[in-house]
Chain A
Amino acid sequence: MTQALLFKDIDEPGLNTIGVYEARGGYEQLRRALRELTPEAVLGELETSNLRGRGGAGFQMGKKVSFLPKGSMDKYVVCNADESEPGTFKDRELMQKCPHMLIEGIVIASYAAGANRAFIYIRGEYVHQADILDAALAEARAAGFVGEDILGSGHSLSLVVHRGAGAYICGEETGLLDSLEGKRGNPRLKPPFPANQGLYQGPTLINNVETLSTVPAIMRMGGAQYAELGVQTSTGTKLVSVSGHVQKPGNYEIELGVPSRDIIYGLAGGPPQGRQVKCWFPGGSSSPVLTGEDLDIPYDFDSMAKAGTMLGSGAVIVVDDSTPILDVALKVAKFYRHESCGKCTPCREGTNWTVKMLERIDSGEATPMDIEIMASVQEHIMGNCLCVLGDAMAMPIGSMIAKFRGEFEAHIEQARARNQLVAV
């Protein structure tokens, strides 16, 4: 079924310490890469592996590294550990249990990118995980895997664990960079992309925890063999965080391309006895919802895109038939309203409007025409902001309206009757 790459030995006692990690083959690939391979060769392996970013956008990591300009300017590697997409908790597991794998991945990636400074931006709520990372980093420094002239290779890297302070938008790459520079976490206009002008205006490689943690496994297997795992355009294994109405919520490592049913029913046990899957988010609360009829879609980047949704961060949230769709929509919309940074009008106002309209539907004050207006508000948010936070609300809400319109209309009727409102 699935090969454990990231979750190999994950619950081994003490895996977060350098001794146990090295005994299990840790840092071997760092030694090999820095001593025996050129940065170009490392980059070649990453490109061959076809590894796609695990944070949400699914952009090929090797390509991202290759976009960094050559030259002797200050370059940066930033690890995005601000995991705040609702439903996602895979990076937490990796950082808590196997921090050295992430550090090893960052050092190898920085070698390929020619960067000498790296930062791990971890969300402030992950106190325990940040403490573990700090301790692991101190061990790695003492062992000479991080610092000046690593293992005599001439490559130097300073690595800092930076703690955030609670803002969803700081998971957006340019918002994260602003936050790391000590500002409010407002996203920036793109282009220029971070590969050209990122942190402190320097070329910056920014990748998710899971992506960087996969690097040692790719070096161990070789890019070509890693690319054999999964399906052609979505290679390798992926951590999925399954939550909501399932019997065994948690993180699972799957090979990309398995049927979604195998994840929701096979691994996570499906909804409680006697209930059916009503809808599910395949990639965090920002992804358009799928229904119980879509369970046979293969779980990979392109199949999800073809189904009109996205793999996102790999967070599967399952909603069973006991929950009104309006509750789900309202929860999602309120979250994005709260987290909108307020910089772009369509997002700031659109999220606010959507919440109000959903509340009117809930109280029965809305008319069926309001559903139409709400759907059009979603269309006007999409693509009109600096970042995709607004889109991240518009896409799931739009999909809920499209797929459950009857339920929204029935909800208005029932609420109106219940509250004895008169139709206008």
Chain B
Amino acid sequence: MSAVPRYQHGSRVPGWDEPADLGKDPAEIPDPALTAVPAELRAEIEAHMAKYPDRRSATLPALEAAQRVHGWCSPEAIEQVACVMRLTPAYLAAVATFYDMLETQPVAPHSVYVCTNISCSLCGADELYAAMREAADEAEFNVRSFECLGACDIAPMASVDGVYVGPLSVADIPQLFDDARSGRPVLPDKQLARRLVADPHANSREYALHPAQPGTGPGAARPAADAAPTDAKQEHGA
């Protein structure tokens, strides 16, 4: 019977099998006098803390801000957040390892999340992801397969530094990397932000022009709705 490779590379718990140095004392809340924190980062974290009744609620936004400054949740980044928020580094590390978007290892500057969940994979996302991994320069692009990104209408898709683009084909890959590298808008024609709602009945003005009166009986609003498609503002290539 072969051993189950459960805790080796690819484990769901990153870093669990890295040995802990038990000779060291646990890290305490960093001393503000000895910890240098960039002024802008400190201001941003403090602004987040002020928004909540409990300062700990600012943990995720604070770690995200530190990650933006340091590139990843490095020990230094965690120490700075811990110093401002008055929490232990261990607490923050425990939170950081839980969330997919907080990086606990150094990563390339551009992040490319390729959705490989069910809807996208039905539309060819696995091939797309393989081709992207192949084409990407690892020093520049952190190409990851990601869980459903909530854009199955443009499947297969990817989030390039937070910008959703799709539907993508393998032919789009060089342009995608080129745009991201040079700071141009990524594949402008394929950006989700420009997509109209697919529903042909959406955008009806009918309801605004003839507001239904409450209590006029069952189905009072339905005739107006029937007329809606003819008044639809957009043609959706039906």
- Chain A interface (Cβ < 8 Å from any Cβ of B): 1-5, 7-12, 24-25, 74, 83-89, 91-93, 96-97, 117, 123-128, 160, 162-168, 179-185, 200, 220-222, 224-225, 228-229, 241, 243-245, 248-253, 267-268, 281, 285, 315, 317, 319, 323, 327-328, 331-332, 335, 337-342, 352
Contact = CB atoms under 8 A, between A and B. Distances in A.
Contact of B197 (A5, A10, A83): A10
17 contacts: A3-B222, A8-B202, A9-B205, A83-B150, A86-B148, A124-B64, A126-B150, A128-B192, A162-B60, A163-B60, A163-B64, A164-B60, A165-B99, A180-B57, A200-B53, A244-B152, A281-B118
Nearest to A25: B208
Interface stretch (B30-38, B132-140, B211-219): B211-219
Contacts of B1: none
Given A87-B152, A225-B212, A285 B54 contact: no
Contacts of A328: 118
Interface string B60-78: 1101100000000000000
Interface string B86-126: 00000000110011111000000000010001110111000
Given A3-B228, A10-B197, A184-B98, A200 B54 contact: yes
A87 B155 CA distance: 10
Nearest to B49: A182
A96 B151 CA distance: 12
Which of B6, B201, B221 has the largest count of A CB atoms less than 10 A from its CB?
Answer: B201
Contact of A241 (B117, B152, B164, B208): B152
Contacts of A341: 98
B73 to A, nearest CB: 10
Given A89-B152, A249-B198, A165 B208 contact: no
Interface residues of B, number: 74
A96 B196 CA distance: 11
Contact of A1 (B117, B164, B219, B225): B225
A88 B150 contact: yes
A315 B152 CA distance: 10
A132 B184 CA distance: 21
Given A3-B228, A253-B202, A267-B200, 16 more contacts: A12-B203, A89-B151, A89-B152, A125-B113, A128-B163, A162-B60, A168-B147, A183-B59, A184-B94, A185-B99, A224-B214, A267-B199, A317-B118, A319-B122, A335-B118, A338-B12
B203 A251 contact: no
Contacts of A86: 117-119, 147-148, 152
A197 B101 CA distance: 29
B224 interface: yes
Main secondary structure of the interface of B (DSSP, over half): loop
A328 B120 CA distance: 12
Q: List 4 A-B pairs, minimum CB-CB distance, nearest first.
A: A250-B198, A222-B214, A243-B152, A166-B100
A352 B4 CA distance: 11
Among B58, B60, B233: residue with most chain A CB under 10 A: B60
A25 B200 CA distance: 22
B101 A165 contact: yes
Given A4-B207, A11-B234, A331-B121, A163 B162 contact: no
B54 to A, nearest CB: 6
Contacts of A3: 204, 207, 221-222, 224-225, 228
A206 B203 CA distance: 29
Contacts of A181: 54, 56-57
For A4, A127, A253, which residue has the most chain B Cβ atoms within 10 angstroms? A4
A1 B201 contact: yes
A281 B152 CA distance: 14
B43 interface: no
B128 to A, nearest CB: 15
A339 B197 CA distance: 30
Contacts of B221: 3, 221, 225, 228-229
Nearest to B151: A89
Contacts of A332: 118
A331 to B, nearest CB: 5
A4 B121 CA distance: 31
Given A225-B214, A317-B119, A331-B117, A182 B148 contact: no
Given A85-B148, A331-B118, A249 B228 contact: no
A190 to B, nearest CB: 21
